[in-house]
Amino acid sequence: MKLSIAGLGALFFLSIPIATEAVSITERAGNPFRTASNNQETILNPTNVDPNTFGLLSRNDNKDLIFDAKVETQPLVIEKGAGGDDLIIITTMKNEVYGINTRTMTLAYPKVNLGIPANTSGTSDMDMWGHTPTWGISATPIIDINTKTLFVAAWVLKNNNENRYRDYKIFVLDPFTGKQKANPVTISGVSQEGNSCVFNDANAIRLDKKQYSFPKLRAGLALTESHGLILSFAADSEEFTGKKMADKGLPNPHRYNPHGFVIAYDTKGLLGEKGISKSPAIFCTTAFDSWGGGIWQAGGAPVIDGDTIYVATSNGTSSNTKSAKADIDLTESMIKLRYSPSNNGARPALNKVDFYKAFLDEKQPDASNCLWTDNTSEISCGRGHSDNNGGTKAATDWDFGPSGPMMIPGSNLLLQGTKDGIIYSLNKTDLGKHEPFTHLMSAPPLVASYFVGDIQQNWQRANQLNQSIPCPRPIDNQGNGDVDVGTANWFQPCDPSKNTPPDNKMHHIHSLALAQQDSSGGTVFVWGENSNLKAYKFSTSVNVTPILLAEGDEISSKFTKSPNGTLENTKSPGGMPGGLLMVSSAPPASNPDKSFSVDPNTAIIWAVYPLQGDANKHFADGQLIAYDATKFLAGKKLNRLYSTGIDNQEDLGIMTRMAPPVVANGKVYVLIYRVNNDNLIGSQLKIFGLKK
The DSSP secondary structure of 585-619, one letter per residue, reads -PPPTT-TT-TTBPPTTT-EEEEEEEEEE-TTTS-
In single-letter form, the type of residue at position 621 comes to D
Is 690 inside any structural domain? Answer: no
Is 1 inside any structural domain? Answer: no
Is 681 inside any structural domain? Answer: no
Instruction: Round the CA-based radius of gyration of the chain to a whole number and report it.
Output: 24
Q: What is the distance, to the nearest Å, from the Cα of residue 606 to the centroid of all Cα atoms in its chain? A: 16
Q: What is the distance, to the nearest Å, from the Cα of residue 52 to the centroid of all Cα atoms in its chain? A: 33
Is 238 inside any structural domain? Answer: yes
Which parts of the chain sit beneath pLDDT 70? 1-21, 124-125, 193-195, 201-213, 236-257, 318-323, 359-398, 444, 450-506, 561-574, 591-594
Is 3 inside any structural domain? Answer: no
- What's the CATH code of the domain at 321? 2.130.10.10
Contact between 423 and 358 (Cβ < 8 Å): no
Q: For residue 190, give every residue at least 6 positions away whose Cβ sits within 8 Å of its Cβ, in sequence order, or none.
A: 196, 197, 198, 199, 282
Domain that residue 148 falls in: 9-676
> What is the pLDDT at residue 263?
97
C-alpha span between 493 and 507 (Å, rounded): 12
Counting the structural domains of the chain, the total is 1
Assess whether the previous peptide bond of 573 is cis (omega < 30° from 0).
Answer: yes
Is 684 inside any structural domain? Answer: no
Is 688 inside any structural domain? Answer: no
Q: What is the pLDDT of residues 438-492, one digit of tens each?
A: 889 987 677 777 544 443 444 444 444 444 444 444 444 455 544 443 333 333 4
Is 692 inside any structural domain? Answer: no
> What is the pLDDT at residue 213?
61
Q: Name the residue among 522, 537, 539 with its Cα closest to residue 489.
A: 537
